[in-house]
Every structure is written in C-alpha cells, then in structure tokens.
Amino acid sequence: MDTMGHIKLHIPGPVEVSAKTFAAFCAPMVGHRGQGFKDLYAKIQPQLQSLLFTKQLVYLSTSSAWGIMEGSLRNLVSKKVLCCMCGAFSDKWLDVAKRCGKAAEALQVDWGSPIRAEAIDAKLATGEFDALTLIHNETSTGTMSPLTDIGLLKAKYPDVMFIVDAVSSMTATRIAFDELGIDVLLAGTQKAFAMPPGLTVFTCSPAALAKAATLKDRGYYFDFVEFQKNAADNMTPSTPSISHIYALASKLDDFFAEGLEARFARHLTLAQRTRDWARGHGFLLFPEKGFESSTLTCVSNGARTGGRVLDVSKLQKLVKDRGFLIDGGYGKIKGTTFRISNMGDETEATMGTLYAAMDESIKLIG
Ligand SMILES: *Cc1c(COP(=O)(O)O)cnc(C)c1O
C-alpha cells in the first residue's frame, strides 16, 4: 500500500486504520449465503456479545451509523419521539425524525452540557412519548452523557423505546447493554473501532423487536425483524460488506487480546493526557466539567471565555505539515473549538508524538 504523504488522522472519525486491519479487509471473498460467511459471523457473534455485555444477537448493517439511526425511528416510533439534543449529531436526529414523518419533540440543552436523567424524566412523565433518541458521546462537543443514570429511567417507562447512539464510545468504554435496560445500541465502525467507514454494529432488546413487528412501514433494508431472523442463522438480510466483517473479526481479536478493561482504561488515560495538554497551554475545555469524553477532547478556543484563543486554521495547517490531521471544530462551534481524537489504536507513544507536533506548531504561532 502506498502511504507516501499520508496524514495521520486525529480527527474524531474516521480515525486511523492499521495496516493489520486493512490486510484483514482484503481477505478473499466468500458467498454471503455460504458456510464460509456463516462460520465468520458465528465466530464473531459471541465476541460482539461480550463487547456489548449482552445475550441478544448483535447485528451488522452495511451502512454508516445514520442508516440505523434512521432505521430505529422507522422500526420503533409510532406515537412521538423525544430527541435528546446537546450537539450537532443529536440535534440532527430530530430533523431526521421529521423527515421520516414522525412526530418528534426536542429536549435541547446547551452544546457542551450533557443530557441529564432528570430532564428526560420530566419529559417522559407527560406520557406523550413512545421512544427517545440519545447520543451517549456527543462527538461534536466531546461531551459524554450519564448513560447509567438515564438507563435507570427505563424501569419507570418500560413502554418507551430507549434508542442510544454510541458511535464514538462503543469499544472505548463499558456500555453494558443488558444491564442498562436500553432498547437499541448502535455504532459505526470508523470511530472507536478504528475500521474503515461503511459498517454499523447494533443490537436490540426483545421489547424493541416485539415493537418493531407491530409497525407497518419499517421498510426492508433496515428492518430489525429481518436482521433478527437472519442473524439467528448467521446471516444478514442483504449482501453485507464482507470485507468489513473480516476486518471486524481482526479487530475483535485485538480487543480481547488487549482485554476490554485495559482498552477502556487506555482510552480514559489518553483523553486525560490530552486534557492536560490543553490546560497546560492555557486552554479551557469545551464540555461541562465532569462530562468530558474519554475518546476525544473538544478544546475551547473562545467558545468558553477565559482561556487561550488562537487561529485554529493556522494550527491545523502547521500540525498537518508535521503529519497529523486534527479537527477545527464542528458546526456552529467551528473555529471557536478544536478537537483531538484518541480513539482506536492510539497509545501513550503515538499521542506523545501528536502533542509534540502541536507544541511545535503553537510555538510557531507565538
Ligand atoms: C460520526 C457520528 C455519527 C454519524 O455517523 P455516519 O457514519 O456519518 O453515519 C452519528 N453519531 C455520532 C455520535 C457520531 O460521532
């Protein structure tokens, strides 16, 4: 593979993909209804279940995360969906619900704030909703919402479908699906899985599958009932990106060789290092204190007053000249924040070279 002039990705998705993962991606093709594919899916199914701490089958959708984010609405919303909104991705989910013709309402908090269980409780108490959407780790703001607290609400509202996007946190932190009691958990593979984009890993509660079966206009490609039926036989509803599934098998072996707890701890430590780096240079962090993501750091560059401010595009260019791509802020906080990812395969050593490149760049800016 020609990697000359490659700029290493430290944006929060897609993230850097290892040569080993790409090699797995290039395994010879097999038929998706044949024993070879069934054996592949059967091999990774228990690993996926361990990763998500679930006894439910884990499904593989050949789509980016939005496919299943939209699919969840089509499968599970018949009355009205509460969209918990705290950043660009979670805000967009409301728009997507409306485009699907669903009744939808916003629970909006300021960007950088988490979604709190009390706020959800107050909304669900109206009895108007049969589903909610929540992003565990809002990637645009680097903010993690307290999923355990929110999951506890499920006991109080058993008929409300809790749909959770863990796109930028799945594999990097413990998300115990069965314990949480939530109904859908999903993630695209180009974030913390450190795989190429194009595959989504997700699972559903028995209640979600039962609810989906009652909805008439859930379509075919993202029909959760089809995913369940096929997965029971180690297949997918339509021809999947088999290459992605080979790569996923390779990644899962890596995750369990490292150990999940070690993987979670590594992400947290590296995020803490990045926060220290930012504070060490006089910056404030964008997320509310105590809710900082463990997979990326959103640095305030004027979005919160008091900290250091510099020309983000200059910083990005200087860092890029040194071989790394960082993100210059997303949506309405572009330029007034910047983001640094530590997702996937990063180590103290690889993050150290990034910090050194950023140190040099900041010195040049003066
Ligand atoms: C990246 C991201 C998405 C969108 O994923 P696509 O792959 O573009 O569909 C959704 N939610 C979160 C939290 C993300 O980080």
Helix (H, G, I), strand (E, B) or coil at 153: helix
| Phi/psi of residue 188, nearest 5 degrees | -80, 160
Expressed in angstroms and rounded, the spacing between residue 263 Cα and the centre of ligand 1 is 21
Q: What is the pLDDT of residue 45?
A: 98
Q: How do beta strands 58-61 and 200-204 pair? A: antiparallel
Query: From atom 2 of ligand 1, which residue's Cα is the shortest distance away?
Result: 167
Helix (H, G, I), strand (E, B) or coil at 225: helix
Ligand 1 pocket, residue 297 CB under 6 Å? no
Q: What is the pLDDT of residue 262?
A: 98
pTM over 0.95: yes
Q: What is the pLDDT of residue 288?
A: 98
Query: From atom 5 of ligand 1, which residue's Cα is the shortest distance away?
Result: 65
Q: Which two tokens stand for residue 67?
A: 């496919």
CATH architecture of the domain covering 19-256: 3-Layer(aba) Sandwich (3.40)
Q: Any bridge partners for residue 164, and if so which?
A: 134, 185
Query: From atom 12 of ligand 1, which residue's Cα is the shortest distance away?
Result: 167
- Cα dihedral 33→66→56→153 (10° resolution): -170
- Residue 224, CA distances (Å) to 7, 70, 264 in order: 38, 12, 29
| Phi/psi of residue 328, nearest 5 degrees | -95, 20
Ligand 1 pocket, residue 13 CB under 6 Å? yes
Task: From the options 3.40.50.970, 3.40.50.10330, 3.40.50.720, 3.90.1150.10, give the CATH code of 8-15+259-365.
Answer: 3.90.1150.10
Q: Any bridge partners for residue 298, and if so which?
A: 339
Closest CA to 271 of 285, 257, 255, 252: 285
Region(s) of the chain under CATH 3.40.640.10: 19-256
Per-residue pLDDT of the chain (366 residues; tens, 9 = 90+): 456 689 999 999 999 999 999 999 999 999 999 999 999 999 999 999 999 999 999 999 999 999 999 999 999 999 999 999 999 999 999 999 999 999 999 999 999 999 999 999 999 999 999 999 999 999 999 999 999 999 999 999 999 999 999 999 999 999 999 999 999 999 999 999 999 999 999 999 999 999 999 999 999 999 999 999 999 999 999 999 999 999 999 999 999 999 999 999 999 999 999 999 999 999 999 999 999 999 999 999 999 989 999 999 999 999 999 999 999 999 999 999 999 999 999 999 999 999 999 999 999 998
Region(s) of the chain under CATH 3.90.1150.10: 8-15+259-365
Q: What is the pLDDT of residue 366?
A: 82
Q: How far apart are CA 226 and CA 222, in angstroms?
A: 8
Expressed in angstroms and rounded, the spacing between residue 360 Cα and the centre of ligand 1 is 31
Among 11, 15, 63, 66, which residue has the most ligand 1 atoms within 8 Å of its CB, making it the best to mutate? Answer: 66
Amino acid at 178: D
Among 89, 93, 169, 330, which residue has the most ligand 1 atoms within 8 Å of its CB, making it the best to mutate? Answer: 89
Q: Of ligand 1's atoms, which has the minimum distance to the CA of residue 138?
A: 13
Ligand 1 pocket, residue 193 CB under 6 Å? no
Expressed in angstroms and rounded, the spacing between residue 151 Cα and the centre of ligand 1 is 21
Q: How far apart are CA 18 and CA 3, in angstroms?
A: 12
Q: What is the pLDDT of residue 3?
A: 62
